[in-house]
Structure formats: C-alpha cells, structure tokens
C-alpha cells in the first residue's frame, strides 16, 4: 500500500513554515510517496518511490496532475536526503525500487535536481535506478551533464496538438534531439486515435528526431471509464499497425483516478 512522506496537502500547509523557498540548493516538491508502482512506460509494474516536483510551464487540457501547479514545499536538498535516510527510502532503492522523478516539469529545477541525485548516489550502497518523466520542452544544460549518468531512463512525453498548447510552446526539436541520444529514452505519446498519427509522423519520425522503436502509444484518459476496453484495443491496434509499442496505464487499471498510488 503506497504511503505519503510528503502529501500535496501537507506541502501546502508547510510552504511558509520551516521550509525554504525553492532555489539552487532546494527543490520545490509537490508530493513524495513510497511503496507505489510505476504505472507507465517500459518499467511499468516496477515498485517505485515517486518524487513529484512542483511547477510546469505547460497546461495541457487533460492534465491529471494539476496539484503540481499550486501545492509547493521548498525543501533544502540536505533535508530531503535526510528524509530518504530516516524513512527507509534509501533502503528501498538499494532493494531495487525505482525512484521516479515526475512533475510538472522536473527539468525546470535541473540544478537542484542534479545536486540531489548526485548526493543520493553517494549515500546508496547500490546505484539507484532513476526514471525521469519529462515533457521534453527543456534541454539539459552543460552544467548538469551529470544527469546523463545519474538517470537510468528518460520517459519523455512530448505533447501533441490535442493538448491545447500552442505548438511553439510544446514542440522543442533541440530538447527532443538531445533526449534521443540518452542511454535509455522513450517517447510516450498520449493519443486519442489514428487521427494523431500524422502529427507524430511529420513532427517526430519523418523529421528524423526519433525512431519508431522509441515510441510508446498510450491511450488518453484519466479514469477507468475513459480508458474503456474498446479504447485500449483501438490504440493497441494502432500501435501494432505502426510498428510502435503500446503502453497501458497500470495505476488507472488498478486504482482508477486515486492519487498517491
């Protein structure tokens, strides 16, 4: 059963207490929970710790994590590391649980994130497996080159036209190209149906940014009802037809739209 270490509600209450404002040495956190499961992507089903960072520069029409926009605790990196030690999170990482850094837009805080992940590596007896969920609009700066070694898997999720975001804000070829070259990088596209394929083809495949073998197609939907068996079957057929992977949303299949799982 997943358990909160920092919940969005406690984040809101403590935002002006002992916590510092987010900055170079602190992270702006929305929630931290353990004993959960990675519900999407290549590592779907893996036991996981979720660190959700606050702040996002997009506002997708179907976003299911709106809490990231208004629930914030600024936590010094040293204090967050202390939580990882005291609450048994380091032990879980050493036992093989993944750390999934998600958002929001985690790379908005890439300086502090790099510092945190480097220190986390130092206190773990075994190299932790770290996944980063990334909306793929922000490039990693040279200053944070260490992220390429620290992060085991980049789960990129470039947004398509149906997100409601103007293309000039959501489509950043330089950030996509950089991610394509990471050791392990997937590109998850949330799709409604076959009508989304021409856009994926034109902007990502035909343009030479990524290859079909890096693509995971995921049905759009935030509840079990929206992710009906018919819809899942339609997207699965679409993926097979285009030689791409199909990716489900395990946490919705099991928990519906419950948070913190």
Site residues (CB under 6 A) for ligand SF4?
A: 56, 58-60, 63, 65, 68, 103-104, 135
CA-to-CA distance for 219 and 236, rounded, in angstroms? 9
Residue identified by tokens 């793929």 is: 136
CA-to-CA distance for 57 and 90, rounded, in angstroms? 31
| Closest approach of ligand SF4 to the CB of residue 131, in Å | 15
The dihedral region occupied by 136, where left means phi > 0, alpha psi between -120 and 50, and beta the remainder, is left
> Which residue number, 68 or 153, has a Cβ lying nearer to ligand SF4?
68
- Whether the CB-CB separation of 62 and 110 falls below 8 Å is answered with no
| Closest approach of ligand SF4 to the CB of residue 36, in Å | 17
> Which residue number, 76 or 103, has a Cβ lying nearer to ligand SF4?
103
CA-to-CA distance for 166 and 133, rounded, in angstroms? 21
> Which residue number, 52 or 98, has a Cβ lying nearer to ligand SF4?
52
> Which residue number, 136 or 205, has a Cβ lying nearer to ligand SF4?
136
| Closest approach of ligand SF4 to the CB of residue 141, in Å | 20
| Closest approach of ligand SF4 to the CB of residue 257, in Å | 14
The residue among 154, 83, 150 whose CA lies nearest residue 122 is: 150
Angle at 71 between CA 68 and CA 32, to 5 degrees: 75
> Which residue number, 47 or 161, has a Cβ lying nearer to ligand SF4?
161
CA-CA distances (angstroms) from residue 83 to 33, 52, 86, 168, 177? 11, 15, 5, 39, 35
> Which residue number, 56 or 147, has a Cβ lying nearer to ligand SF4?
56
The dihedral region occupied by 96, where left means phi > 0, alpha psi between -120 and 50, and beta the remainder, is left
């Amino acid at each position: 059963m997943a358990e909160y270490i920092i919940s969005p509600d406690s984040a809101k209450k403590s935002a002006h207490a002992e916590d510092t404002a987010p900055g170079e040495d602190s992270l702006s956190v929305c929630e931290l929970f353990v004993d959960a499961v990675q519900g999407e992507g290549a590592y779907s089903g893996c036991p996981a710790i979720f660190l959700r960072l606050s702040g996002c520069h997009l506002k997708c029409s179907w976003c299911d994590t709106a809490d990231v926009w208004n629930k914030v605790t600024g936590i010094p990196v040293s204090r967050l590391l202390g939580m990882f030690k005291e609450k048994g999170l380091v032990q879980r990482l050493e036992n093989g649980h993944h750390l999934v850094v998600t958002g929001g837009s985690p790379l908005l805080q890439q300086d502090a994130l790099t510092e945190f992940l480097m220190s986390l590596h130092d206190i773990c007896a075994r190299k932790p497996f770290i996944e980063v969920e990334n909306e793929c609009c922000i490039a990693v700066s040279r200053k944070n080159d260490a992220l390429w070694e620290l992060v085991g898997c980049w789960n990129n999720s470039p947004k398509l036209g149906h997100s409601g975001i103007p293309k000039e804000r959501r489509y950043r070829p330089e950030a996509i190209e950089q991610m394509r070259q990471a050791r392990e990088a997937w590109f998850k596209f949330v799709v409604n149906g076959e009508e989304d394929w021409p856009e994926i083809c034109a902007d990502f495949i035909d343009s030479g940014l990524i290859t079909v073998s890096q693509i995971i197609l995921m049905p759009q939907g935030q509840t079990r009802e929206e992710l009906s068996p018919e819809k899942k079957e339609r997207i699965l057929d679409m993926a097979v037809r285009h030689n791409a992977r199909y990716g489900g949303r395990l946490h919705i299949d099991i928990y519906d739209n419950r948070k913190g799982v």
